[in-house]
Amino acid sequence: MPQLNGGGGDDLGANDEMISFKDEGEQEEKISENVSAERDLDDVKSSLVNESENNSSSSDSEQAERRPQTRADSESYEKTRDYFTEALRRQQDGGFFKSPHYPGYPFLMIPDLTNPYLSNGSLSPSARTYLQMKWPLLDVPGSAALKDSRSPTPGHLSNKVPVVQHAHHVHPLTPLITYSNEHFSPGTPPSHLSPEILDPKTGIPRTPHPSELSPYYPLSPGAVGSIAHPLGWLMPQQGQPMYSIPPGGFRHPYPALAMNASMSSLVSSRFSPHMVTPPPHSLHQTGIPHPAIVSPAIKQEPSSDNISPSMHARKSPVPPKKEEDKKPHIKKPLNAFMLYMKEMRAKVVAECTLKESAAINQILGRRWHSLSREEQAKYYELARKERQLHSQLYPGWSARDNYGKRKKRKRENKPDSKPEDFSMRSKKQCVQYLPSEKMCDSPASSHGSMLDSPATPSAALASPAAPAATHSEQAQPLSLTTKPEGRMHHHFSLPGKASGSTSSSSSSSSSSSSSSSSQPTISLPIGTSGSQPTTPILTRPIPFTSLHPSMLSPPSPFHQAALHSHHALFQSQPLSLVTKPTE
């Protein structure tokens, strides 16, 4: 396991990284499914599962490796290849990217093209370049074509895509920008150029441990190309690009990342190429150019006006300054689940016919719970780093600052009072979102599911403080589906925890108390794995001991709990459709 405590001193460390596993949720969908459907879908499902698994495994890596090579035709590729080679060499020498920190952790490579902090959305030059390399057939519109991203014109790609990339340029697809100022400071060599980086806290140069580099951190293209692509699922599956290109073009993850100081003049770090040109250095007036900073006005700015064929043309007469005068909107750092969602969404979407995010999110939520602790720990760690970086970049920033920026928040309450009956919640029943097709939701792919998720000491790394979930929590059925909903008529009321605040974080501590007991869980049996006969939920009942070295340690309560649940899985009967939404 990667060194979790990577960054020297993370005071920010999330203590809640430990989460209670509540997997039961999965059943819900299944429950709703009928047997016949299951059979029909079985094949599909299994195929999907295989597909996904394969993607993540060797086949994927092979593809990843091959792609760049096969795609020598691309002019840009040729050019960039040199850079990559160089970059790779440097990295290897420096040990910068010796291996994926998180094997099988797709995130690492390219989580997604969207920039978490950049709402406007467009693909950065480098990203485009990368895409070209990776997916030659994938249309990656140039800045000019951003609007009309669908028109695949190979030609324009090479023409429009700036090949201006430094050997050390950041991995274009890295979703997160590094928050470190060094990447943006003109005078400061990018950290990725050198193996050493300054410890944020101590100021002492140190060699970043791979684990310290969040997936969002810049990865050199060369490294990327040379590494098996863990994001097999990311690859266009079934003819569908993993990430559909939005009308406005790809969202570029942290444009700033993709550019170096020199590039910054061409493209705003915070704005998409087709957007208004950034101030000279692309530095935010705060001096901190970060994609997380989103000017609301800019966000909505129509890209049409400034779309120019070349990035160079980008300079727009209208400086964003005005908008920036307004307090820039610094987005919250993504939490572990959000990171997971971003990563997996495409996969889920590909597997399912579902398109609604709400439904997808439900599935993701289930999958999240089905992840092993270690897997989750990865995300927690990433999230922690993100928070850390974020805090470093925006020391004064408070989540509170964003309050009210979103107009949404309405659900507010049904003023009526927290319904005792939870049913009052305006939220729709999750089940509703999950159509029968949902088979996909089965976390099948998730290895091990909760079974192997017993808390591992390694998990501790994620959150030392994180208390292992209490037994009760573990055993608890997933609250997911059970969330009180209007339509569902569960009789359990959700105690105080009204909103999304799930039990995990808060409950982790002593608070488990009420929440656990009163949790509305439906009595869904945990693993109605039955619903997915072929599925692998349990396919991999890995002995704890085999899970992770750290796990060898004496079983903690958590382990036991896990075991307990494990048994439950096998023993549980497919629950009946108790949960079936009454629709």
Nearest to 429 by CA among 489, 476, 477: 489
Handedness of CA 193, 199, 200, 204 (dihedral sign): negative
Site for DNA in 23-82 (CB under 7 A): 25
User: Minimum distance from CB of 487 to DNA (Å)?
Assistant: 8
Residue with smaller CB distance to DNA, 209 or 405: 405
Residue with smaller CB distance to DNA, 277 or 429: 429
> Given the DSSP bridges, would you call strands 197-198 and 293-294 parallel, antiparallel or unpaired?
unpaired
> Do residues 403 and 418 lie in contact, with contact meaning Cβ atoms separated by under 8 Å?
no
> Do residues 346 and 243 lie in contact, with contact meaning Cβ atoms separated by under 8 Å?
yes
User: Minimum distance from CB of 82 to DNA (Å)?
Assistant: 31
User: Minimum distance from CB of 53 to DNA (Å)?
Assistant: 23
Nearest to 479 by CA among 519, 449, 443, 440: 519
Among 404, 554, 573, 583, binds DNA (CB under 7 A): 404
Q: Mind giving me the DSSP string for 558-570?
A: HHHHHHHHHHHHH
User: With CB under 7 A, what is the number of residues at the site for DNA?
Assistant: 89
Angle between helices 75-94 and 125-134 (to 10 degrees): 100
376 belongs to the binding site for DNA (CB under 7 A)? yes
- Measured distance CA(238)–CA(57) in Å, rounded: 17
Residue with smaller CB distance to DNA, 193 or 256: 256
Among 76, 264, 295, 362, binds DNA (CB under 7 A): 362
Site for DNA in 141-180 (CB under 7 A): none
- Measured distance CA(520)–CA(483) in Å, rounded: 7
Run of H or E including 330 = strand 329-330
252 belongs to the binding site for DNA (CB under 7 A)? no
Site for DNA in 507-526 (CB under 7 A): 509-511, 513-515
- Measured distance CA(303)–CA(316) in Å, rounded: 11
3-state helix, strand, coil in the chain (%, to 5): 45, 0, 50
478 belongs to the binding site for DNA (CB under 7 A)? yes
Q: Mind giving me the DSSP string for 98-161?
A: SS-SSTT-GGGT---SS-TT--S----HHHHHHHHHH-TTS----TTTSTTTT---HHHHHHHS
398 belongs to the binding site for DNA (CB under 7 A)? yes
Residue with smaller CB distance to DNA, 166 or 367: 367
Site for DNA in 178-237 (CB under 7 A): none
Among 153, 361, 539, 560, binds DNA (CB under 7 A): 361
Residue with smaller CB distance to DNA, 285 or 514: 514
Burial code of 390-402, b = ≥16 C-beta within 10 A, e = fewer? Answer: bbbbbeebeeeee
Among 77, 102, 433, 558, binds DNA (CB under 7 A): 433
User: Minimum distance from CB of 506 to DNA (Å)?
Assistant: 6
Interface region with DNA, contact rule CB under 7 A, candidates 69-77, 166-174, 337-345, 446-454: 337-345
Among 286, 413, 550, 553, binds DNA (CB under 7 A): 413
Residue with smaller CB distance to DNA, 97 or 179: 179
Q: Is 204 exposed, middle or buried (0-12, 13-18, 19+ CB in 10 A)?
A: exposed
498 belongs to the binding site for DNA (CB under 7 A)? yes
Among 317, 408, 573, 583, binds DNA (CB under 7 A): 408
Angle between helices 336-351 and 35-56 (to 10 degrees): 120
Give 237's DSSP letter: B
Site for DNA in 98-117 (CB under 7 A): 112, 114, 116-117
User: Minimum distance from CB of 496 to DNA (Å)?
Assistant: 2
User: Minimum distance from CB of 88 to DNA (Å)?
Assistant: 28
Residue with smaller CB distance to DNA, 222 or 248: 248
Interface region with DNA, contact rule CB under 7 A, candidates 69-77, 125-133, 264-272, 418-426: 418-426
347 belongs to the binding site for DNA (CB under 7 A)? no
Nearest to 129 by CA among 170, 177, 175: 170
565 belongs to the binding site for DNA (CB under 7 A)? no
User: Minimum distance from CB of 194 to DNA (Å)?
Assistant: 29
374 belongs to the binding site for DNA (CB under 7 A)? no
458 belongs to the binding site for DNA (CB under 7 A)? no
Residue with smaller CB distance to DNA, 114 or 211: 114
Among 203, 317, 395, 400, binds DNA (CB under 7 A): 400
At residue 233, the 3 state secondary structure works out as: helix
User: Minimum distance from CB of 329 to DNA (Å)?
Assistant: 6
Q: Residue 240 pairs with which residues in a beta bridge?
A: 237
Per-residue contact flags (x/-) with DNA for residues 286 to 325, judged by CB under 7 A:
--------------x-------------------------
Q: Which two tokens stand for residue 362?
A: 């439900």
Nearest to 115 by CA among 240, 270, 335, 308: 270
Residue with smaller CB distance to DNA, 376 or 572: 376
409 belongs to the binding site for DNA (CB under 7 A)? yes
412 belongs to the binding site for DNA (CB under 7 A)? yes
How many CB atoms within 10 Å of residue 573?
9
> Do residues 571 and 528 lie in contact, with contact meaning Cβ atoms separated by under 8 Å?
no
